Amino acid sequence: MNVSPQPEQSPTPCPECGLVYQCICQAIPRCDSTIKLSLLVHERELNRETNTGRWLVHALPQCQSYLWQRKQPDVRFQQQLDDPRFFPVLLFPSPDAVTADELCVQTDDEHYHPHHNYQYQHHDHQVKEHQPTLHFILLDGTWQEARKMERKSAWLAGLPRVQITPNMTSSYRLRRNQQPDSLCTLEVVATLLDQRGETKDAQALKDFLHLFMDTLQADKSRSPARFVQR
């Protein structure tokens, strides 16, 4: 009796990092930074294996991600915007944007607060007397998508704009047709950490980005695991 060979089953991707042949979950840095960061993620970005913002959620203790919605923010994100303990700012270049260096001042207790000349008004309450912790908001998508997100969401209009001063040339090589002077999401945050003086965490993120890019390209070519074993 002849028995037909069973079809070979495809390997199962890691449920966390999504890689098939070599998991890098154990290599994700665990940063000490207390920076508060929210990612507003474009829906197309959710299924892109080249996305770098997802690693920030694992690496930074106070980083969260929310699906971007054009007409109104996610309910959980709205609660963050309304929380008087935080001062929300949008990391996005614009003519009226201030640099991260101008906005942030460091206090003795290692917290960063709004510059004393910068005020923010939102939903009929104004932060004046106390100094809330900065809450950085970053649009996660291609540069073309991020511009549309910023332009089409009226509820983002009231957020002060903050821009970083890049101190590096992007090493990101997983996507084509991007702006030559642009940075990927992870590189933006690494640059921000650098400008806050958190150089150790910034370097850890940069090192991981190189590992991720090399590993993803090897994974796509079905190379055997040679970085971090699952």
- pLDDT per position as a tens digit, 25-51: 999 999 999 999 999 999 999 989 999
The answer on pLDDT for 173 being more than 90 is: no
pLDDT at 225 over 70: no
CATH architecture for segment(s) 35-115+132-220: 3-Layer(aba) Sandwich (3.40)
pLDDT of residue 68: 95
What pTM value is reported for the model? 0.82
Residue 81 has pLDDT above 50, yes or no: yes
Average pLDDT over residues 171-179: 71
Average pLDDT over the chain reads 82
**Which tens digit of pLDDT belongs to each residue from 108-136?**
344 444 444 444 444 444 444 567 889 99
Residue 183 CA: distances (Å) to CA of 1, 6, 44, 136, 152: 61, 46, 18, 17, 22
**118 in Cβ contact with 160 (< 8 Å):** yes
pLDDT value for 219: 86
Q: What angle do CA 57, 41, 48 make, to 5 degrees?
A: 85
145-154 — which CB contacts under 8 Å span 24+ positions? 145/42, 145/44, 145/45, 146/42, 146/92, 149/40, 149/42, 149/68, 149/70, 150/90, 150/92, 152/70, 153/68, 153/69, 153/70, 153/71
Assess whether pLDDT exceeds 80 at residue 228. Answer: no
* pLDDT at position 108: 37
pLDDT of residue 138: 97
Q: What is the pLDDT of residue 65?
A: 97
pLDDT (0 to 100) of residue 180: 62
**Following DSSP, what letter does each residue of 147-162 receive, concatenated?**
HHHHHH-GGGTTSPEE
Q: What is the average per-residue pLDDT within 79-90?
A: 93
Contacts 24+ apart (CB under 8 A), 124-132: 125/84, 127/84, 127/87, 130/84, 132/84, 132/85, 132/86, 132/87
Does residue 172 have a pLDDT over 90? no
